Amino acid sequence: MLPALIRTCLRGSPHQNPASFEQTLADVILMCADRISLFGYAHLPARFAAQRKILSAWLPDGPLRLALAKRAQPRLTEAGYCQIGMDHFVLTDDPLAVAQQLHRKFKGYTTGEKLTEIGFGVSASSATV
């Protein structure tokens, strides 16, 4: 099995706007990445010297950053990705997507929501659909 193609993208980076972010999403989708990490840009000029050259006025404000994040989810879902956690997306046949389809039962997890369970033993429990 070949390693997965993982693409990391930033939202909220300097000079980013809805049009440029939409283009970024289109480019990433065109690459057919198996997994996409969509991180929020962290502006920490006190910690990273290179970021001291970036003016705060160049950064999208809070509402715009939220709008960019909200736009990514439906756009990537339309392209065949499913969301894993807060900011990760994978193709629907990816092992992470398959694992997410587990269902919690009384004593553990199953791959099906409507399965009959028959318990044996003194403290066994059963469930029928």
- Reported as a single tens digit per residue, the pLDDT across 76-120 is 999 999 998 888 999 998 888 887 776 666 666 666 666 676 767
In a domain, 1, yes or no: no
In a domain, 62, yes or no: yes
- State the pLDDT at residue 111: 64
Q: Are residues 113 and 57 in the same domain?
A: no
Q: Cα 41 to chain center, whole Å?
A: 15
Kindly give the pairing relationship between strand 103-105 and strand 88-91. unpaired
In a domain, 37, yes or no: yes
Q: Are residues 12 and 59 in the same domain?
A: yes
Q: Are residues 78 and 121 in the same domain?
A: no
Mean pLDDT of 43-54: 94
Query: What are 128's two structure tokens?
Result: 């029928």
Q: Is the dihedral of CA 107, 111, 113, 118 positive or negative?
A: negative
Q: 77 or 3, which is more confident? A: 77
- State the pLDDT at residue 2: 55
User: Percentage of residues in the chain with pLDDT exceeding 90?
Assistant: 53
Q: Are residues 48 and 10 in the same domain?
A: yes
Mean pLDDT of the residues in the chain: 85
Alpha-carbon span 97 to 83, nearest angstrom: 8
